């Protein structure tokens, strides 16, 4: 199990928080070079993947913390140049959901990302 002090975990949390804040403050400047900036730039493609894999949940009904966490994890799975194993990405996203989301967040995040891996990653 990863520790909260793990620098990779801390970086993911920082990026999730930036994405969360950007959701509310459109004028927020994301610094370059920044994974958050790349994720935000790819958000339309990422949001399409979320919509496809969570059809019962319109984007505006997904809690903002969960949306930021999903955007980060899907970007890592699909768009990041240096890929981590998908199990690591999902585990990290679930841990972030446990730390910052609601009681339902971890299972929601796990379900959506599991669907993404099944439909989109294993077939690439």
Domains annotated for the chain, with CATH where assigned, are 7-121 (1.10.940.10)
Which two three-digit tokens encode residue 27? Answer: 């004028």
pTM for this model (two decimals): 0.91
**DSSP annotation of 5:** T
Q: Please, are residues 109 and 73 in contact by the beta-carbon 8 Å criterion?
A: yes
Q: Round to whole Å and give the CA distance between 75 and 77.
A: 5
DSSP-based three-state secondary structure for 83: coil
Give residue for tokens 């972030």. Answer: 96
pLDDT in 10s for each residue of the chain, 124 residues: 456 788 999 999 999 999 999 989 888 888 766 899 999 999 999 999 999 999 999 999 999 999 999 999 999 999 998 889 999 999 999 999 999 999 999 999 999 999 999 997 765 4
């Amino acid at each position: 199990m990863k520790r909260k002090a793990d620098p990779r975990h801390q970086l993911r949390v920082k990026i999730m928080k930036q994405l969360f804040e950007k959701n509310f403050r459109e004028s927020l400047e994301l610094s370059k070079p920044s994974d958050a900036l790349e994720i935000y730039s790819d958000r339309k493609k990422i949001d399409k993947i979320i919509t496809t894999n969570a059809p019962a949940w319109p984007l505006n009904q997904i809690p903002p913390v969960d949306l930021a966490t999903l955007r980060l994890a899907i970007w890592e799975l699909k768009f990041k140049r240096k890929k981590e194993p998908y199990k690591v990405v999902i585990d990290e996203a679930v841990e972030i959901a446990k730390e910052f989301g609601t009681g339902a967040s971890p299972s929601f995040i796990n379900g959506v990302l599991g669907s993404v891996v099944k439909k989109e990653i294993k077939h690439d």
